[in-house]
Structures are given as structure tokens and as C-alpha cells.
Amino acid sequence: MENASKALIMAGSVLLAILIIGALVYTFNLMSNLKTTEQRSAEAEKLVKANKEIEKFNREGLYGSEILSLCNFIKDYNNKYNSDLGYTEITLLIYTNGIPGAKWMKQNYEADAYNKLTQDFSKLESEIESYKKQTYYSKSIEQLSGMRTFDLKQLINANETTSETRRINMFNEIQQKISQYNNLKSEMTEFKNKKFKMPETVYDPQNSRITKMTFREV
């Protein structure tokens, strides 16, 4: 009788333990599902917010400087929400009338446009900065570019006393640097000031998110 009682107690203890473990597992799963739902909800809110930010660029008269901002935004968006995670990446196409004599900025950007355009613009910026760092007679190319021809010659004459040939060569060299610097600055300004038509925008029919934008210069 005593053994039977102990057996019942042990069986009851095991059953209670199983019930407790079952309750803990259920609670854990419930909390995990709740956490997953919250994460999905937060992610969905981020996507909606990102889509609204992109929508701001869906208008007439966008400038080249704003196109650059959009490229950076889409680059960040596609890195976060890429096809590997099940999201549709945004495709960007940019068509311009070109810039005569441009060194870096292309006329059209199609494949991987947001990356290639920002890379080209970054190279343009870097080269302009490199010219600014170049100096002649303690004056930067930027400062020299603002000088009158007469004043520039006076500066050279005051620092180059060896020969007339040396002075002429230095004048031509500085003039060439100034011309290259001004051309690069003009290229940057012209791209930033370009105006674009209302973009051709494609939306995902399932979730109304933007999947493609095509910009054409006015």
C-alpha cells in the first residue's frame, strides 16, 4: 500500500513537471511569436516610411542635386531590403542631355545607375578638391583662378627672376591648371542644376511600393 502511494506521488510529480514544462514551452512560443510579429510590424513601418521618402522625389522639376540625394537613398534602401531577403529592389534609370566636354558625368545611367552616378560624382568632387590643394607661390588654384591676368603675371614676375622663358612657362602651366579646375567646377554645377521631368514610376501591385523610377532631363 505504501509503495502504491509512493508510486502515485511520483506519477503525480512527473505529470506536474510535464504540465509545467508544457506551460513554459507554450509561454515561450507565445512570446517568440509575439516578438516576431512586433519585429515584422516594425519592419513594415520602416518600409512604408522609406517608400514615403522616395515618393517625395516623384515630382516634376527635380534638380540634379536632388537626383544625387535620391541615388544615395535608394542605394541605402536596396542594401537593407534586397532580393535575398525577399524584397523587390528599386531600379533607377537616369537620362540626361549630357554635358559638353564632361570628364566624369555620363549622359545616361542605366545598369546600376544609383551606384555609378554617385561614384562618378564622387570622383568629380575628389578631383576638384585635389586642385584646391595645389598651390603656386602660397596661393591655391582656387585663389589663382579668381585673379586677373595682369595680377597673375605680376605674381609670377615677383617670384620667378631667373628668365623670361621660365615666367612664360609658369604662366602657361598655371593657366592650364586654372582652366582644368574651372571646367570641373562647371561640370559639377551644370549637373546639379539640371532639371528633370516627372519620373515614370512603377509600383508593386501587391504592396504599392515603388520598384522602378525613370528620370529624363527637361
Q: Are residues 183 and 103 in the same domain?
A: yes
Residue 194: the pLDDT is 98
Provide the pairing of β-strand 91-95 with 210-216.
parallel
Residue 130: the pLDDT is 96
Residue 87: the pLDDT is 80
Residue 20: the pLDDT is 83
Please, which residues have CB within 8 angstroms of residue 89's CB and are 6 or more apart in sequence? 78, 81, 82, 83, 211
Cα 183 from Cα 91, distance rounded (Å): 31
Q: Are residues 119 and 159 in the same domain?
A: yes
Q: Are residues 74 and 163 in the same domain?
A: yes
Q: Are residues 8 and 107 in the same domain?
A: no
Residue 43: the pLDDT is 65
**pLDDT averaged per 10 residues in sequence order, the chain, 218 residues:** 68 76 72 58 69 91 97 91 77 97 97 96 97 95 96 96 95 97 98 98 88 96
Residue 88: the pLDDT is 84
**Among 212, 206, 217, which Cα is nearest to 77's?**
212
**What totals of helices (H) and strands (E) does the chain contain, helices first?**
6, 8
Number of separate domains in the chain: 2
Q: Are residues 25 and 65 in the same domain?
A: no
45, containing H or E segment: helix 2-55
- pTM for this structure? 0.78
Looking up cell 501587391 gives: 206
Q: Are residues 41 and 85 in the same domain?
A: no
Distance of CA 186 to the CA centre of its chain: 22
Residue 40: the pLDDT is 55
**What does the angle CA 116 – CA 118 – CA 123 come to, to the nearest 5 degrees?**
95
131 in Cβ contact with 184 (< 8 Å): yes
Domain limits for position 85: 60-216
210, containing H or E segment: strand 210-216
Q: Are residues 48 and 66 in the same domain?
A: no
CA 55, 56, 61, 67: dihedral to nearest 10 degrees?
Answer: -90
Q: Are residues 83 and 170 in the same domain?
A: yes
**Among 50, 56, 55, 52, which Cα is nearest to 81's?**
50
Residue 68: the pLDDT is 97
